[in-house]
Structure 1
């Protein structure tokens, strides 16, 4: 092997260029930009580096080591890689937080910044059992697969289900008061379910719910997202009101089934926008039909509910509210939720998968207003 190595081993420039491709799995930024690279030495064909972890118990330390070894081993001239792990001291962690959140570790909700281009979709329903959470995770994963930076806040504190649907079992990493959300299928996710033992219930009143949501939006570091989804609890209760207060520019995505009774209550969830000042991005009809083996469609829950909700909201709000799509029943959708692998990953060619990807593409292509934003450009 040594006969194939360049004389003198790899160049330091090539080594540093390779290290710049190593992405921290939680922060999703190169370790070279985060102050995690402590020392680098090149001796012949051997490269020795020391990487500083944010905390001693970093759950993804093995991933960092493996990714670093893989990046360096691909450099011409490298015959041996040695990775030593250390831990940041408080001064280094403070510097990291300043890199991530600005001078002084600025608090506040970044999605409310005047310059933010993140689209925030609050996925709502009038009643439970319409598949709102399944729709949320599949839309998020489909957008991430299209190259967008996506996050999910599981705001259904009482009925949290997003971690299971995404196959997440690890807890978030805490760097002092900063919370780093786990990443699954290229989507950053935070949920109260990540902070409770087993399947314990949450019994909180309104102020506690508001504070939990506020902390998720201020203390969790999502980075620069293209899209943020909030999976709301059904109805028009405390969390729905808190989302409108904390994220006034968020837009509602109303999920319903074709059934008339479900459509009636879904309309109330969307009509809440008239009181809160939020926008409504559209209506999604789930469980629209079941395709039998001979190709015929069975309307198990009736038909027309999604279109009815869109029409009524258009009349109530005075603006056009589109029916974004109709998703058929699919056993694979349920199975994917049980397995923690969303349908759009494993059954992309299914009718439900095709429709979910189409809806995700339509939402991703919606223009984001630049009116009033400073672009920081100057004429030459």
Structure 2
């Protein structure tokens, strides 16, 4: 039996935010729509893929669909989802497939097994939708927000796509609903029910997430992120001598003091040590290799730039900084009163939660150059998690 799929991609997806509609947002290095199209274009049970798009999105669609097989020329959608599906059904009239699936572009995690179940269900029942059991208790409320009924949870299903039908009955149901002005039918099962057809439910998938809100996009990114199994630790150490001045920079915070710190940049020993610790975990040289003191552009530079650079090197490799630990070694100034401000500033620079930043201070019991109040030292460690590289 010939089976086509209509992918509804004409919406604007304003609830997810972003500069482009959600179906064109990139997750895991690939647009949502391309991920969805690839599922159907590569599935052996699908013969043709008809995409319904917004007229303003032709260039975005061309990029999303580039090189994929089975894609038909896209068509413009209607004023709502119901109108867009009708347009897709009409566009398939010349092919007149036996079966048709209808899928939301913003569900990029459907599996090939779900598609196969949908095709089988359409052939067996004529109209079928994937559904998952509802785990929360559901309440019906009136216009004032008062509960009027508690449906039996065992009989409830949360319905997904792809929804699956015999082509001609679905097309006729949509045409009948359009002619009757029956608006507000939120899915194709509802159109079939309105037209008097029975609709079966087959097993859906809990991971078949629909991207609707910003939190959904964040969840999708996490789901596609490779496991960060390569755990590394780097260390850093730095020293700067006191010089003229009325404050010292420690951990990105200006601390009033009777002297300053000498250095080519702002001489922030804390951020310098942290930068070296992060770069060390990456096996990516040290602060001097990337920001040599012989280069005049770094004269007087703020050291937050150095640490932010190191953090970006981690992100560029698909990793995260899991923990930073900084120890400041000096007799004076007193670090304790500024500890929380330092932690907050470091968290801001690297984009990490505050509870993953540790700052401590100690003295050398008046021994050595720090004990003689000649300068400040800092040592740091950084724990970095990276995707494990394929040994091949």
Q: TM-score, normalised by structure 2?
A: 0.23
Larger relative contact order (Cα-Cα within 8 Å, sequence gap ≥ 6) = 1
Please identify which structure carries the higher strand content: 2
| TM-score, normalisation: structure 1 | 0.23
